[in-house]
């Protein structure tokens, strides 16, 4: 527990945030065993914007969940700033999620009984050096909807609240599983814009899962999974502005 | 079995602990109802059989003495059926296993033939036959048991100043002593009081009463008026110094039995109503959640052509299973409780046989009542299920909308942490659910207060009566009112440090249409052993003229201080005289009136007499004092305060101990079940929310806090409400129990309240912790997938 690195690494020089080696994940056993990931190796650097592509069932969510400390690998190692996620216990993982990771989900998962501001405050109450909820909501363009309940917000607005919630505690990592999956194109763009801008401004390592290959243009690097393996790695020379993405 | 029933079984298996929780709450109410109604049936059956077989009399009278020839005149009164005349006398008894003398009531057995009325039921040994039997007695079973007396053993009684020894021929029961206690005393003490029967001739000779009687028992002819017969008896026996004539209504044993039946009646209604209401709410909440979860299933069933009726029945069957489970458990519980109470009744009531009879109608009624309660509870949700249009039901329920809770609009609002806001808003989104949960927890708290209130009230009364009002150690009653010299004799008994005289006399009080036979007690105004207090607790001084009456008596007679009541004395010159009420006193037992000793003697007109004395005896010579007392010829009755108090404490401890256990079980069941069920429902409704919080880095403990925080808030709100409710229950019960003879004050002690709060808080806590186990199974990854 003590070696959980809470602060950004001292050497800014290219120590990866995540170092994944030989990662495999098998669900079930025997006849019913499903191999979700097999022999995944990758390094994610600080401040990068990563997009994960792949067909349904290719293992994207599984990978993200393991990076987020929600699931444990069956084989291989996953290091977060040198700290072994695979060997961590329940309490360590909870603290890891609380202090280091921001999550954005496909279905927003806001707390329905809390307003936008309170949904953010709920998380900042746990954090050590958070930004004020109002500032976080300002980053996603929702300064005017602070006191609205989720039921009073559109899908895109709810998703932006979820992003504000994820970044307000200034996490090292922002993990987004199909953040635009439940949104229409225009709304999806505003959400992606918010994510892209925050990645630049705050320098948070951001991993986005999507089915939509065009979104890949906004990333620094793109990984493609199929059948639990990384079958494609692409580095973009230049990140395309989200507004230019041809959806 | 249809596929739909298979689904029912699977649903039930998934919800088994919740269904069980509801069934248990139901069972508590039903158990009480089945117990109470079965006890009513058992007691009434046993009583009626006993009264019929042993020919329990209907009218009773006591007098000074009348020649046996008057018996025929009594029988000739129109409306009188059978007449039995006999001799009855109070005596002191000397028992080998007791240092102190006991008190006994000796009744005579007829000289010729057998008892016509109030026949004896032989338990052990044999009855006494023939007019010439000597030196033999029959003893009441309870008394014999308390002293381990067997047929063949002997006991000694002081009869007319002579101590005589008798051999016990047998032990018996008699219908007029179903409840066997010293006259005027609220609880039985079988060690210090017993009833004895002996042949008329021997008893009459010993008392110089041969050829006469002083007690009448009779039955009424069919259709006769009781009050008509009683006034005819009063007229006929006025010449012979009648003391009292009364019907079963005022018979000590019979009225005590009726009081018990009345209490059972209250229990048989009150408990099921309250518990079934809680169960109805719970089953409604479970079903509502179930139907919400199964919206899509309902839609599919409907889309495939299942009728609304079948779907409605499907969910009603679910409730029915709970009803069957609750009724079965309740019946079993009622039978167990009933048996325990029948055992406890042995302390109070003696029947030849008191078998526990299960009231099968009550079981049917219980089933019907719980079915009705369940139906009321689930009706709303089942109707929703039936009305759900398939297309609408396919879509998930629209997201819940929330508003800030009322508390947040106060000045406190901005300072509340987000987790507390979640709790408050969830509560105010479903206010009725919150109110009912809170009420159920308050109910649990409330019922815990009741038994302790009773025991606190009783011990308050004991202390008040025996420490504050009566400060003697012993009361000795003389066989006959005696000259003041007798006080001197009592004062000279070993160890006596203080002796104060009293005179008591049965007097008929008349005020307007109210008429009462009252024991008037006279003592000296300077008495220190006999004190009177007013309602404020100030000492009263006995005025030289005028009555001091207990506030209850003034109420019964409808008089106030300054007004006069007509007193008809039954002794001495038997005069009728109007006497003013001077002051009201506060006491808790019986209805008594006090007069200055000299004034009472003047009104009776027999000269300066005393009926007995209140004594203070020093501890050092206690044994010697008791030994002398046993042989004291003049004594007819002895009350030893500490022995009586101990026996009271013992009896109440046993009774209230049982009551406390029952209420403790019920309260725990309610608190545990309601918290468990609410937590499970909240968990099911908010699974996704709670899993999200876990993903976001909340620890299991923090998430548990949010889940049960609501319930903790409700429990905290329920506790003070429960204390109020419990005080109300206790006040209601005490009001119901209060008679002219026993009045309990409502005493609510801090430890009683603390006990109730502690039990409910603990039950809720354990239940909350228990339901939080399910948080371990929370599917974190699942929460990220599709919406519910
Ligand atoms: N809890 C689980 N138990 C068994 N198998 C699982 C479990 N979770 C995922 N899988 C399997 O692992 C494989 C990868 O699943 P994963 O959710 O990672 O895919 P994905 O790439 O996110 O797909 P999608 O684009 O549909 O979300 C799938 O074959 C899936 O069925
Ligand atoms: Mg996925």
Interior angle at CA B383, CA B381 and CA B389, nearest 5: 105
Are both B451 and B542 inside the same structural domain?
Answer: no
How is B105-150 classified by DSSP, letter by letter? EEEEEPSSS--SSS--EEEEE----STT--SEEEEEHHHHHHTT--
Report the candidate in B697, B664, B675 with the shortest Cα–Cα distance to residue B772.
Answer: B675
pLDDT tens sequence across A142-190: 999 999 998 899 888 999 999 999 999 889 999 999 898 888 888 888 8
Question: Maximum Cα–Cα distance for chain B, whole Å?
Answer: 103
Instruction: Please report whether residue B625 resides in a domain.
Output: no
Min Cα separation A187/chain B (Å): 19
Same domain flag for B317 and B211 = no
B510: how many CB neighbours lie within 10 A of its CB? Answer: 15
pLDDT reported for residue A11: 45
Answer whether B4's CB lies under 8 Å from B314's CB. Answer: yes
The two structure tokens encoding residue B589: 């037992």
CA atoms within 13 A on the CB side of A102: 31
Sequence spans of domains, chain A = 46-72+87-244
Question: For residue B431, what is the DSSP state?
Answer: H
Residues B268 and B317 reside in one and the same domain: yes
Q: What is the pLDDT of residues A47-82, one digit of tens each?
A: 999 999 999 999 999 999 999 998 999 999 999 999
Domain identity same for B709 and B571:
no
Disruptive mutation site among B697, B703, B776, B785 for chain A (greatest number of A CBs within 10 Å): B697
Per-residue pLDDT, B782: 80
Q: Which residue of A has its CA nearest to B424?
A: A113
Q: Would the CB atoms of A165 and B696 count as touching at under 8 Å?
A: yes
- Ligand 2 center from residue A27 Cα (angstroms): 15
Which ligand places an atom closest to the C-alpha of A37?
A: 1
Token look-up 């939509």 returns A212
Question: Do B402 and A126 lie within an 8 Å CB cutoff?
Answer: no
Q: Which residue of A has its CA nearest to B429?
A: A113
Q: Decide if B145 contacts B195 (C-beta within 8 A).
A: no
B552 located within any domain: yes
Question: What is the bridge-based pairing of β-strands B547-550 and B592-596?
Answer: antiparallel
Q: Report CB contact under 8 Å: B698, A95.
A: no
**Predicted pLDDT of residue B76:** 94
In a domain, B480, yes or no: no
Return the SS3 of B25: helix
Residue of B nearest to A93 (CA): B697
What would the pLDDT profile of A80-108 be if each residue is shown by its tens digit?
A: 999 999 888 888 999 999 999 999 988 88
In the reported structure, the alpha carbon of residue B686 is separated from the centroid of ligand 2 by a whole-number distance in angstroms of: 22
Between CA B346 and CA B230 the distance in angstroms is: 33
State in Å: Cα A50 to ligand 2 middle. Answer: 16
Select from B252, B286, B312 the last residue of a domain: B252
Cβ separation A95–B422 shorter than 8 A: no
Q: How confident is the model at residue A7 (pLDDT cuts 50, 70, 90)?
A: low
The helix or strand, by DSSP H or E, that contains position B600, with its residue range, turns out to be: helix B597-604
Q: What is the pLDDT of residue B32?
A: 93
- Tell whether A112 is within 8 A of chain B (Cβ): yes
Tokens of B263: 């209490």
**Conformation bin of residue B138: beta by default, left when phi > 0, alpha when psi is -120 to 50:** beta
> String of b and e for B535-572 (b: at least 16 CB within 10 Å)?
eeeeebebbeebbbbbebbbebbebeeeeebebebbbb
**Is the residue at B213 inside a domain?**
yes
Banded model confidence at residue A5, pLDDT cuts 50, 70, 90: low
Q: Would you state the pLDDT for residue A14? A: 63
Q: Which residues pair with B138 in a beta bridge?
A: B170, B197
Residues B311, B355, single domain; the answer is yes
At residue A10, does pLDDT exceed 70? no
Q: What is the C-alpha to C-alpha distance for residues A159 and A150, in angstroms, rounded to an integer?
A: 10
> Distance between CA atoms of B445 and B670, rounded to whole angstroms?
10
* Domain range A46-72+87-244, CATH class: alpha beta
Contact A97 B697 (CB under 8 A): yes
Instruction: Average the pLDDT over A218-226 and give the result.
Output: 94
Cα-to-centroid distance, A165 and ligand 2 (Å)? 21
* Rounded CA separation B692/B296 (Å): 23
**Cβ contacts of B684 within 8 Å, gap of 6 or more:** B289, B293
Q: Which residue in the set A68, A118, A149 is minimally distant from B401, CB to CB? A: A149
Length of chain B: 788
Whether A98 and B698 lie within 8 Å, measured CB to CB: yes
| ipTM of predicted complex | 0.88
Predicted confidence (pLDDT) at residue A2 exceeds the cutoff of 50: no
> How high is the pLDDT of residue B438?
94
Q: What's the domain count of chain B?
A: 4
How many CB pairs below 8 Å do chains A and B form together? 89
- DSSP readout, B72-106? HHHHHSTTEEEEEEE-EEEEEEE-TT-SSPEEEEE
* pLDDT score for A27: 92
Please, which residues 70-89 of chain A have a Cβ atom closer than 8 Å to chain B? 70-71
Does the beta-carbon distance from B698 to A111 stay under 8 Å? no
Kindly report the protein residue whose alpha carbon is nearest to atom 6 of ligand 1.
Answer: A27
Q: For residue range B528-563, what is the model confidence (pLDDT) as tens digits?
A: 888 888 888 888 889 998 999 988 888 888 899 999
Token pair recorded at residue B661 = 């256990």
> Looking at the structure, do residues B733 and B661 belong to the same domain, yes or no?
yes
B265 shares a domain with B237: no
Ligand 1 interacting residues, C-beta cut-off 6 A: A 27-28, 34, 36, 54, 56-62
Q: Which of B216, B188, B196 is nearest to B350 (CA)?
A: B188
Domain range holding B29?
A: 1-56+253-398
- CB-based contact, B710 to chain A, within 8 Å: no
Query: Do B144 and B177 reside in the same domain of the chain?
Result: yes
The number of beta carbons lying within 10 Å of the beta carbon of residue B152 is 10
What pLDDT was estimated at residue B685?
Answer: 87
Domain boundary among the residues B378, B398, B418 is at: B398
- Among all bound ligands, the one having the nearest atom to the CA of A29 is 1
Dist CA B253 CA B238 (whole Å):
26
Do B271 and B149 reside in the same domain of the chain? no
Phi, psi (5° rounding) for residue B688? -65, -45
Residue A128 near chain B (CB below 8 Å): no
| pLDDT on residue B56 | 97
- Which residues in chain B are closer than 8 Å to A98, comparing Cβ atoms? 696-699
Of all protein residues, whose CA lies closest to atom 11 belonging to ligand 1? A36
Cβ atoms B36, B265 nearer than 8 A:
yes
Asked whether the predicted pLDDT for residue A9 surpasses 50, the reply is no
d(CA B480, CA B504): 11
Residues of chain B with confidence (pLDDT) below 50: 788
Q: Which atom of ligand 1 is nearest to the CA of A25?
A: 12
Between the CA of A43 and the centroid of ligand 1 the distance, in Å, is: 22
Contacts of B426 in chain A (CB under 8 A): 113
Which ligand sits closest to the CA of A67?
A: 1
Could you tell me if B98 and B213 lie in one domain? Answer: yes
Whole-number Å distance between alpha carbons of B388 and B409: 36
Residue A94's closest CA among A59, A127, A70, A130? A70
Cα nearest neighbour of B419 on chain A: A122
Asked whether residue B248 falls in the same domain as residue B117, the answer is yes
Domain assignment of residue B227, yes or no: yes
Residue A31 confidence class, pLDDT cut points 50, 70, 90: confident
Work out the burial of residue B204: count CB atoms within 10 Å of its CB; fewer than 13 is exposed, 13-18 middle, 19 or more buried.
buried
Inspect the interface and report whether the beta carbons of B695 and A121 lie closer than 8 Å: no
C-alpha pair distances (Å), B330 with each of A136, B266, B281, B336: 58, 18, 18, 10
Contact B120/B54 with Cβ under 8 angstroms? yes
| pLDDT on residue A96 | 93
In a domain, B173, yes or no: yes
B326 and B466 within one domain: no
Give the residue carrying structure tokens 């009803």. Answer: B323
């Amino acid at each position: 527990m003590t070696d959980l690195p809470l602060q950004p690494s001292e050497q800014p020089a290219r120590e990866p945030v995540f170092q994944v080696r030989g990662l495999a994940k098998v669900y079930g056993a025997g006849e019913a065993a499903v191999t979700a990931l097999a022999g995944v190796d990758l390094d994610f650097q600080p401040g990068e914007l990563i997009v994960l592509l792949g067909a349904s069932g290719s293992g994207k969510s599984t990978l993200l969940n393991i990076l987020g400390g929600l699931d444990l690998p069956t084989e291989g190692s996953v290091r977060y700033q040198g700290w072994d996620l695979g060997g961590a216990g329940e309490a360590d993982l909870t603290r890891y999620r609380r202090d280091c990771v921001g999550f954005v989900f496909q279905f927003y998962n806001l707390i329905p009984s809390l307003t936008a501001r309170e949904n953010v405050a709920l998380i900042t109450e746990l954090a050590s050096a958070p930004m004020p909820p109002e500032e976080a909501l300002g980053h996603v363009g929702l300064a005017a909807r602070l006191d609205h309940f989720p039921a009073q917000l559109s899908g895109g607005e709810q998703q932006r609240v979820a992003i504000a919630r994820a970044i307000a505690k200034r996490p090292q990592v922002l993990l987004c599983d199909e953040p635009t999956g439940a949104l229409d194109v225009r709304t999806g763009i505003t959400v992606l814009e918010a994510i892209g801008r925050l990645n630049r401004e705050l320098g948070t390592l951001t991993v986005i899962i999507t089915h939509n290959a065009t979104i890949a243009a906004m990333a620094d690097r793109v990984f493609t999974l199929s059948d639990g393996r990384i079958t494609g790695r692409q580095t973009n020379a230049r990140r395309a502005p989200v507004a230019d993405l041809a959806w | 079995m249809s596929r739909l029933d298979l689904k029912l079984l699977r649903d039930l298996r998934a919800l088994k602990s919740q269904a069980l929780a509801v069934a248990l709450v139901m069972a508590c109410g039903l158990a009480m109802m089945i117990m109470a109604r079965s006890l009513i049936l058992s007691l009434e059956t046993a009583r009626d059989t006993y009264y019929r077989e042993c020919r329990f009399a209907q009218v009773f009278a006591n007098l000074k003495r009348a020649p046996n020839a008057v018996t025929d005149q009594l029988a000739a009164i129109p409306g009188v059926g059978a007449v039995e005349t006999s001799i009855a006398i109070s005596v002191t008894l000397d028992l080998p296993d007791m240092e102190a003398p006991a008190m006994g009531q000796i009744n005579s057995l007829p000289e010729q033939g057998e008892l016509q009325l109030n026949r004896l039921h032989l338990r052990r040994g044999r009855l006494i036959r023939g007019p010439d039997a000597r030196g033999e007695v029959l003893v009441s079973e309870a008394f014999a048991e308390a002293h381990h007396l067997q047929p063949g053993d002997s006991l000694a009684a002081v009869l007319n100043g002579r101590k005589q020894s008798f051999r016990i021929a047998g032990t018996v029961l008699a219908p007029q002593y179903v409840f066997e206690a010293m006259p005027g005393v609220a609880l039985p003490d079988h060690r210090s009081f017993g009833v004895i029967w002996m042949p008329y001739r021997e008893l009459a000779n010993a008392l110089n009463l041969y050829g006469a009687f002083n007690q009448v028992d009779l039955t009424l002819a069919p259709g006769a008026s009781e009050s008509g017969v009683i006034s005819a008896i009063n007229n006929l026996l006025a010449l012979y110094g009648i003391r009292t004539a009364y019907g079963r209504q005022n018979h000590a044993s019979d009225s005590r039995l009726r009081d018990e039946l009345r209490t059972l009646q209250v229990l048989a209604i009150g408990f099921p109503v309250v518990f079934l209401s809680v169960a109805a709410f719970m089953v409604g909440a479970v079903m509502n959640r179930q139907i919400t979860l199964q919206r899509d299933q309902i839609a599919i069933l409907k889309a495939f052509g299942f009728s609304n009726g079948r779907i409605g029945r499907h969910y009603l069957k679910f409730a029915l299973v709970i009803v069957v489970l609750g009724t079965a458990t309740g019946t079993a519980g009622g039978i167990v409780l009933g048996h325990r109470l029948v055992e406890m009744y042995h302390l109070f009531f003696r029947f030849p046989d008191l078998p526990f009879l299960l009231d099968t109608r009550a079981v049917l009624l219980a089933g019907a009542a719980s079915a009705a309660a369940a139906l009321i509870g689930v009706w709303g949700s089942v109707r929703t299920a039936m009305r759900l249009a398939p297309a609408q039901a396919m879509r998930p329920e629209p997201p819940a909308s929330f508003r800030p809770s009322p508390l947040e609009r106060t000045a406190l609002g901005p300072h509340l942490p987000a987790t507390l806001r979640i709790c408050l808003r969830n509560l105010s989104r479903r206010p009725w659910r919150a109110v009912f949960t809170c009420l159920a927890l308050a109910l649990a708290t409330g019922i815990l207060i009741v038994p302790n209130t009773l025991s606190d009230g009783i011990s308050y009364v004991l202390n008040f009566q025996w420490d504050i009002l009566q400060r003697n150690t012993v009361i000795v009653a003389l066989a006959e009112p005696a000259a003041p010299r007798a006080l001197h004799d009592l004062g000279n008994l070993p160890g006596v440090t203080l002796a104060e005289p009293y005179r008591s006399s049965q007097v008929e009080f008349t005020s307007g249409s109210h008429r009462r036979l009252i024991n008037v007690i006279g003592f000296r105004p300077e008495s220190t052993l006999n004190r009177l207090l007013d309602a404020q607790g100030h000492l009263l001084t006995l005025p030289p003229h005028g009555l001091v009456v207990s506030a209850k008596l003034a109420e019964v007679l409808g008089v106030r201080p300054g007004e006069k009541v007509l007193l008809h004395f039954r002794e001495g010159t038997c005069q009728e005289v109007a006497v003013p009420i001077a002051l009201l006193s506060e006491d808790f037992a019986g209805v008594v009136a006090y007069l200055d000793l000299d004034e009472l003697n003047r009104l009776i007109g027999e000269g300066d007499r005393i009926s007995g004395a209140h004594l203070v005896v020093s501890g050092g010579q206690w044994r010697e004092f008791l030994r002398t007392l046993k042989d004291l010829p003049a004594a007819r009755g002895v009350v030893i305060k500490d022995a009586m108090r101990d026996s009271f404490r013992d009896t109440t401890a046993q009774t209230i101990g049982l009551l406390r256990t029952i209420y403790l079980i019920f309260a725990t069941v309610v608190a545990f079940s309601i918290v468990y069920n609410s937590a499970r429902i909240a968990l099911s409704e908010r699974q996704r929310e709670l899993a999200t919080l876990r993903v976001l880095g909340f620890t299991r403990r923090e998430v548990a806090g949010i889940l049960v925080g609501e319930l903790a808030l409700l429990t905290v709100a329920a506790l003070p409400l429960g204390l109020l409710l419990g005080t109300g229950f206790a006040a209601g019960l005490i009001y119901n129990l209060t008679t002219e003879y026993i009045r309990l004050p409502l005493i609510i002690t801090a430890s009683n309240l603390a006990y109730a709060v502690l039990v409910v808080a603990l039950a809720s806590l354990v239940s909350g912790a228990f339901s939080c186990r399910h948080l371990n199974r929370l599917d974190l990854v699942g929460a990220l997938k599709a919406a519910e």
